[in-house]
Amino acid sequence: MTIRLGTRRSALATAQATWVADRLRQLGHDVELTPITTFGDTSSRPLSEIGGTGVFATGIRLALHRGEIDVAVHSLKDLPVIPEPGLHIAAIPVREDPRDALVARDGLTLGELPSGSVVGTGSPRRAAQLAALGLGLQVRSIRGNVGTRLGLVADGTCDAIVLARAGLARLGQLDVVTEVLDPLQMLSAPGQGALAVEVRADDQAMVSAVAVLDDDDTRASVNAERAVLAALEAGCTAPIGVLAEVSEGDAGQTELWIRAFVGAEDGSASLRRSTSGPTSRAHALGEQLAAQLLEDGADQITALHDGPRPGDPPTEPPGAGARNRPPAASTPASPAKPTRPDQPAPERAQ
């Protein structure tokens, strides 16, 4: 039997799918890639306008539902937190480094960029955290594949751009990185750097074939991160950063440490909170951290309800499944500092 593995057509998506395919081949399976074009790939509008959450996954999921493919590979951060009926994430393989990376002119780091420098990103989360740093940077909204975005620095349109380090690593382009951003400066998107390998829930042969790729620590981390997102009722375009990491606790036991950021996109207000606990309570810890954020005013800082919600009007063609909710009113709250000690300083690329 040949496993038909569905993926978006972009270079990054293909690289991710090929990574999964190669591991399935090592287990003795025949695998062929099936490229699929999604609504998110064909639209040039900002993600915050077309729904954000799910716009890259919907077309692939439809192909999986229809039986046109057997396995789908997604960037986990692109998936809605609400499970898709009839489908099952059978594996979340070991995660790439989830941090964000700066690509700047002249090899500059974030702190070396002069005030007024133009930094490109398509992410409200990154824009909010850049503004909160108070460096006087001008954030420009950009879209396009990795090559297109890198070109904006090369041609002088932007002084720098911020991308996920994981994507550059999978494309073999880490040499362009001028700084890997410390989570104290920039918390990543929930699920960033992780892949979701999805199958039909009733296809037990595929569930069994794929499940061996699952990594327990990665699954616990991203489950906690996505629990924060779900409890805040936010979509992937909301200015929210969450990072969960499995580490050794004070008593030598394994624990999960979760940090979260919620901020106004203009940098006028922000919250940073953290919590920790056993990995077995990953989902509950995420909900606990979200409750703390809400108690401290997260819902007053920014419009959290920006993702697709049941009953919202469609922003894709009929059957595509994307939803979008208008932003709610917001009022600023007081900034807060992380509750854990400082971590190592930002890493400069070699």
Q: How do strand 100-104 and strand 160-164 relate by DSSP bridges?
A: antiparallel
Q: Please, is 121 exposed, middle or buried when counting C-beta atoms within 10 Å of its C-beta (0-12, 13-18, 19+)? A: buried
* Span 319-347, pLDDT tens digits: 333 333 333 333 333 333 333 333 333 33
pLDDT surpasses 90 at 260: yes
List, edge to edge, every strand of the sheet that includes 254-263.
Answer: 240-248, 254-263, 270-277
Active site residues: 78
Q: What is the pLDDT of residue 252?
A: 75
Q: What is the pLDDT of residue 342?
A: 35
Task: Locate 21 and state its tokens.
Answer: 């395919």
Read off the pLDDT of each residue in 28-37 and give the average, rounded to a whole number.
94
Residue 30: other Cβ atoms inside 10 A = 10
Q: What is the pLDDT of residue 1?
A: 74
Q: How far apart are CA 294 and CA 292, in angstroms?
A: 5
Which residues lie closer than 8 Å to 265 by C-beta, 6 or more apart?
124, 127, 128, 131, 239, 302
Confidence of residue 238 (pLDDT cuts 50, 70, 90): confident
pLDDT surpasses 70 at 58: yes
* Span 261-281, pLDDT tens digits: 999 988 889 999 999 999 999
Please tell me the chain's helix, strand, coil percentages from 3-state DSSP, rounded to the nearest 5. Answer: 30, 25, 45
Q: Backbone phi, then psi, for 83, in 5-degree steps?
A: -60, 145
